[in-house]
Structure 1
Amino acid sequence: MHAISDTRITSADVPPHIIRQVMHLIRDRGYTPERLCKGLGFTLDDLQNKDFRVSYRQTSTIIRRAMRLLNDPSIGIATGSRQTIASFGLPGLGMLTCRTLGDAFQYGIKYQIQAGSIAQVDYSADERRFVIEASMRFYDPELEPFFVEEILVSGVAMTRALVGERYQPLRVELRYPRPSHAVEYGRFFNCPVSFGASANRIISDRFWHDIVLRTYDEFMMQSLQESIDQLLGREKPHDELIESILTVLRASIDETPRFDEVARLLNFSERTLRRRLTGLNVSFQSLIDRARYEYSLDLLERTRLPLNQIAMATGFSDSRTFRRAFKRWSGKVPNQMRAPGTADALAHSHDPERRALNGSRD
């Protein structure tokens, strides 16, 4: 049974790291990965966007399709073994700044959602050993082996990257019955593996926990982690439908697509898309406004473009209409969002909107 009675499955709050690796795997095995995205509200190009997020529903659908296409139940191991430190994004870079392997695990677990984890990962340690445990956030027995394989295998691959290939666990315990591809576990983990256990976990000698990482720099650790923490702290979850619509709108912000065009791109009928948005208490216009506001704010903060060019870049016919919309969105005039010194420099240029940039108009 594939249905999961949990409204969180449509919360698009996870970077698509797993989907990216599955797509690489599909391509490496000679198939075209584009068709796996059909009807899910995104394309392969969207996977390159650092701000793009996916839901459990989207991720699990891709995995099921990949399993059927490849006729291979062991792709969780193949997917996890492809992961590198960089695959975890900013949390992975933060782990590189840590002093010991144990510190790195604790840092990664703190930001496991931002690192793309679908499973829930927990950590514990005592004087003799340390344990990494994985459990499912969603009840989905069919895909539990995949997600547990992916997170535990990627964790071991990452550990070997941090402390060397000589690392191996004491043992691996898995909650589900022995699968048909169980031999692959022994080959990768290189330690005893048991099934039907009380939990999914990797148990390792405490020795590895306390190893100082070669990437550790005591003078840079704090400042680097503060910068990464600040970036990670800005992320907020979205519903997968809202995220999909915003992705379409951001791709053509200067020529905003009509509602029927967005519905077609997302493989919805207009009626269905309108009903879904009504259920979320969100209007299509509010999403257009949000996409325009985000882009205009980015241009104001990062560039010295005059206001009339920013207006055109965000789909407005003139700068006056843009100023009024921006004030409605933010409660401020565009000039107030400029980086320090930018507004003054523009005010003395030949920009015909300099009076507005100086705040003399609304």
Structure 2
Amino acid sequence: MPTLPDAASPAPDSPAAGLERLSALHSLGILDTPPEPQFDRIMALVSRYFRVPFGSVTFVDDHRQWFKASVGFTHRADPRGQSICALTVDAGCPLVIPDLRADPRTAPLDAVQGGHQLRFYAGIPLRADGHAVGTLCVLDTCPRDFSAEDLEVLAQFAELAQSELRLRLALRDLEALALTDPLTELPNRRAFQRELASACGAARSGQTRVVGLLDLDRFKPINDTLGHAVGDAVLRFVAQRLLALLRPGEILARYGGDEFTLLLTGPDADARAREIALELPHRLHMPSGLRVGVSLGLVSVSGPADPKALLELADQTMYRAKAAGTIAAHSRFPDDLNPARP
């Protein structure tokens, strides 16, 4: 029989460690997500191999246990105080309880005394960033022995679930890379188009949206005469200064080359666009003495709009500002759609 953790409840995490554990759990982005076949298949295999009527892939936060996949259970969450898996998470190591009614930690629990009449438990921690955040566990309605070999097999099944978690994080990181401009670390064209499409999809609410397209003036001579390293530094500088002008929820992206895009939403979007246009000239004084100007086309819309048409109008409006030698020009969609381009 494997050595069990002491029957006394484990010492609680320090507040800092508890917050780190919760942060690691939330970083998985798995809580309250729909069932996924890969986790369901693992649990079906585990249940069949050990011939148990209950089992789960469980994650434990500060107030509940939540089942990502389960066998035998028809609900998806329990209060943390009713969770056997919370004991495994708190201990941070495999836990086997041959008879739940004989263990003072679990004897009073509803799942033991009430509905499911559970009597046996074995669980292996699942980890994120080194913290135990959940378990893969099996449960039975009668006491049973669980050998060291059984525990090793359960650990191998848990490793399958752990591999799925690692894959989940890797795919999320790849998606983040696919949506981020590596030079400025701003959202890229693809990310901006996704946000703009989402904002246009909210048109039925009548919410005002302002789309901006900003182009750097005199940038090509900097690249040609001083080199791409200096040009890259200019782009990073402009990105940081533009970002400092924005409030939470306002979006700045590098659209490509020396072009940046803005998306402002809300009842004060038009006023915010004017504020940003007025402030821009005062924010782009470079310490090196290099001079780079900007031309900004701003388009306001409050009704249904096609994202592509909005960007085309923003592009035309930006060129209008450039031709006039002004920092910014404003248009309203669809009133100013398809004006003659200077």
TM over 0.5: no
Give the TM-score taking structure 2 as reference length. 0.28
Which has the larger Rg?
2
Higher relative contact order (CA 8 A, sep 6+): 1
